[in-house]
Amino acid sequence: MDVPFLDLKTQFFPLKEEIKKAIDDVFESQIFILGSSVERFEENIGKYLRVKHAIGISSGTDALLVSLMSLNIKEGDEVITTPFTFFATAGTIVRVGAKPVFVDIKKDFNIDEDMIEEAITERTKAIIPVHLFGKTCSISKIKDIAKKHSLYIIEDAAQAIGAEFNEKKVGGVGDLGCFSFFPSKNLGGIGDGGLIATNNHKLAEKIKVLRKQGMEQKNFHKYIGGNFRLDEIQASVLNIKLKHLDLWNDKRIKNAEAYINQLSNLEEKGFVSLPRSEEKNEHVFNQFTLVCKNRDKLREFLLRKGIKTEVYYPIPLHLQECFKMLRYKKGDFPVAETVCENVLSIPIYPELTKERRDYVIDNIKEFYIGHNFR
């Protein structure tokens, strides 16, 4: 049996006619930039996220970049974030000229809020907490810290659309929330796309200006902005897919529950540790990530059985070559470093059948308990 890591074709099939018609409508209108599809999508997703303003952006990376620009974060400033995340979280901080200051993570892969305060200096301007793999980080404690020290919060919710905290959706809790519609995210477009969510009217207005070259009215540039727009074709497809997001997230959660139930045996024996969530919808499982013994051998074993897995992430950001100038070294963030050596993400996509899921479970058990592990 083959188990892909993600199965977008199966997701596309029942939506095919509707999506094709929506794209066709864009072609007929010949309006490709900031037209009615983007407007409608911003309205729909704003309601979904329960925020006052939702602004379509060209990608998740650009959503982070424009967020930092909108807060005027620049050279001399510091921004606190996690070293265990997708590159863009820290890359964008450096791109505006500021310095990323990393703080180690907890066992749940998210930034350790208890270590944030000691990283704050008089240069600190913002915190970028990441809801990694779809799991809500300790956002209320982080909010308290930010408030106490007058810092902004930019939530990197690229992997966590739909996840909740105290009945609020992530991305709508901090000052700004960033989302990505890269095809592998829980709400995936047909190319690149992103979004900034906010309840701050002033920031929303500025972001809308920044995304079109800083132009408030034609030919008058108030800021040095850029081309950061979401396009009509993406928005027309996202409008359709958004209606299915909660159902898809539920299916991811169901798959996760099955994995947790059936692999807890291995956890008790110390072979793997499983991602847990306590509150309802606290985790929307963009990834189901194990910390496991003999990771690379397990990965090879599963591949031989036709099961695709991924390592998110093999190298923590503080040890990336491009961040050498930050002068971090091995040993600075021991939890993140250890996790990088032992994590494995297994298929969790909504269309994963019970048959395939059971096959994954059986093979992981076979690896540890059968004669393959020794």
Which residues of the chain form contacts with ligand PLP (CB under 6 A)? 59-61, 85-86, 88-89, 130, 156, 158-159, 180, 182, 192, 194
Report the Cα–Cα distance between both ends of the chain, in Å, rounded. Answer: 25
Name which of 63 and 120 has its Cβ closer to ligand PLP: 63
Residue 187 CB, nearest distance to ligand PLP (Å)?
11
Angle at 151 between CA 147 and CA 157, to 5 degrees: 95
- Which residues, other chains included, contact 18 with Cβ-Cβ below 8 Å and sequence gap of 6+? 240
Residue 178 CB, nearest distance to ligand PLP (Å)?
7
Distance CA 251, CA 239 (A): 20
Q: At what angle do helices 88-95 and 60-70 cross, to 10 degrees?
A: 40
Name which of 71 and 263 has its Cβ closer to ligand PLP: 71
What is the strand order of the sheet 288-292 is part of? 272-273, 288-292, 343-346
Which CA distances in Å does 299 have to 131, 139, 267, 303?
Answer: 25, 33, 17, 6
Name which of 88 and 237 has its Cβ closer to ligand PLP: 88
Name which of 124 and 159 has its Cβ closer to ligand PLP: 159
Contact 32, 124 (CB under 8 A): no
Cα torsion at 327, 332, 336, 337 (round to 10°)? 90
Residue 359 CB, nearest distance to ligand PLP (Å)?
27
Distance CA 131, CA 159 (A): 7
Q: What's the gap between Cα 192 and its chain centre?
A: 14
Q: What's the gap between Cα 309 and its chain centre?
A: 18
Tokens (6 digits) for 167: 């009945």
Q: 237: how many CB neighbours lie within 10 A of its CB?
A: 26
Q: How many residues appear in the chain?
A: 374
CB closest to ligand PLP, residue no: 60
Distance CA 289, CA 309 (A): 10
Strands annotated E in 267-336: 272-273, 288-292
